Amino acid sequence: MKHLIDPTDLSKQEIDQIIALAEDIIAHRERYQGSMAHKKLATLFYEPSTRTRLSFTAAMMELGGQVLGFSTPQSSSAAKGESVQDTVRVVGCFADIIAMRHPIEGAPLVASEVSRVPIINAGDGSHSHPTQTLTDLLTIKRELGHIDDITIGFCGDLRFGRTVHSLIKALSRYHGIKVVLIAPDELRLPDYIKQDVCEKMGVEYRETDSLDDAIPELDVLYMTRVQKERFLDEDEFDRVKDSFVLDARRMSLAKEKMAVLHPLPRVNEILTEVDEDPRAAYFRQVENGKLVRMALIISLMEWKNDPAHKMPEHEAPIINPALHCTNAKCICNNEKHQPRFRLAENGITRCWYCDSKVR
């Protein structure tokens, strides 16, 4: 069974196949209408969403399938204490494929361990958002004509921005990627992405707190919102919330062909005066989200019983009762799941579910 929990669950070949299928859908929309007739997608959203949930819904409807699900945990039996695993066991009786968003990191992973239908991670806490990554890759391809050999600047909340973590993981498999990390100290990219992804995969990266200095060299500027909902300390949020604002003056420093991406929603980090700039690609990016999710649904349904599309094999997890995950928002600290760990780069032990450090 093929699930999509982390971008690395897809080989580069599979990612390219999904993007190529999305491009074929764009060119021949009529060929795919009805391809999911009599199939059902369940959208289990334990956290707010506009784009991801509605684009999954629109994608399945456009393919001729049907959609069921919930948009808040309060309207499901999660409110009565039902576990994530029990919920997907139940929903797997009603649906052929499930997209799940959850504020607890690792929730879609434990769901996939018991599910009889493919699980798609539609965002878990600050950890991962692989379908946004497919959206971003398709957008880069359509805006620039290629994904290889680009310099991409990630700006804003690189600490909690799950879309940033996932996109860097995926881009690390492409050729000639240079990454500029533009963030204040408090919002820097987590070490596990720098060490386990950039350094391991040989991705050239540098860190700066100056968007003005970085912008002239970028082919893609990936802006992000400072994620208020992830901060445990409101004063810390207030200190960093207005760190970077993209405006017409800053756009004047950029390349003529630079593409501005943002997973959205935005708050104040891109002024509306930028929206009419032809380089502002973030609303085109939204439409690409629906198209690439159509391609993903078709692919996962086709690959369901195909041994050529298995989940990647990992080393067996480390089980050690003396170790604890340090992340209060990890599934192993919120439901009864045996703590599991993996040995990462530089001999660091990390949580199996959420990649956090252990103590």
| Binding residues for ligand CP (CB under 6 A) | 49-52, 123, 132, 263-265
Instruction: Give the count of beta carbons closer than 10 Å to the beta carbon of residue 26.
Output: 16
Whole-number minimum distance, CB 30 to ligand CP, in Å? 28
What is the DSSP code string of 51-83? HHHHHHHHHHHHTT-EEEEESSGGGSGGGGT--
Q: Contact, 183 vs 209, CB < 8 A?
A: yes
Distance between CA 353 and CA 105 in Å, rounded? 7
Q: Contact, 144 vs 257, CB < 8 A?
A: yes
Whole-number minimum distance, CB 171 to ligand CP, in Å? 17
Q: Which is nearer to ligand CP, 57 or 83 (CB)?
A: 57
Whole-number minimum distance, CB 284 to ligand CP, in Å? 14
Q: Measured at the alpha carbon of residue 13, what is the angle toward residues 152 and 112, in degrees to the nearest 5?
A: 95
Type of residue found at 252: S
Type of residue found at 114: V
Q: Which is nearer to ligand CP, 167 or 351 (CB)?
A: 167
Q: Which is nearer to ligand CP, 281 or 358 (CB)?
A: 281
Distance between CA 53 and CA 29 in Å, rounded? 21
Whole-number minimum distance, CB 216 to ligand CP, in Å? 27
Q: Which is nearer to ligand CP, 101 or 142 (CB)?
A: 101
Whole-number minimum distance, CB 104 to ligand CP, in Å? 16
Q: Which is nearer to ligand CP, 123 or 156 (CB)?
A: 123
Q: According to DSSP H, which parts of the chain are helical?
A: 12-27, 29-32, 51-62, 84-91, 107-114, 130-144, 162-171, 191-193, 200-201, 211-214, 234-240, 248-251, 282-303
Q: Which is nearer to ligand CP, 49 or 126 (CB)?
A: 49
Whole-number minimum distance, CB 317 to ligand CP, in Å? 29
Q: Which is nearer to ligand CP, 65 or 263 (CB)?
A: 263
Sole residue written with tokens 């032990």? 349
Q: Which is nearer to ligand CP, 293 or 350 (CB)?
A: 293
Whole-number minimum distance, CB 204 to ligand CP, in Å? 27
Whole-number minimum distance, CB 203 to ligand CP, in Å? 23
Q: Contact, 222 vs 275, CB < 8 A?
A: no
- Measured over the CA atoms of residue 4, residue 7, residue 12 and residue 17, the dihedral's sign is positive
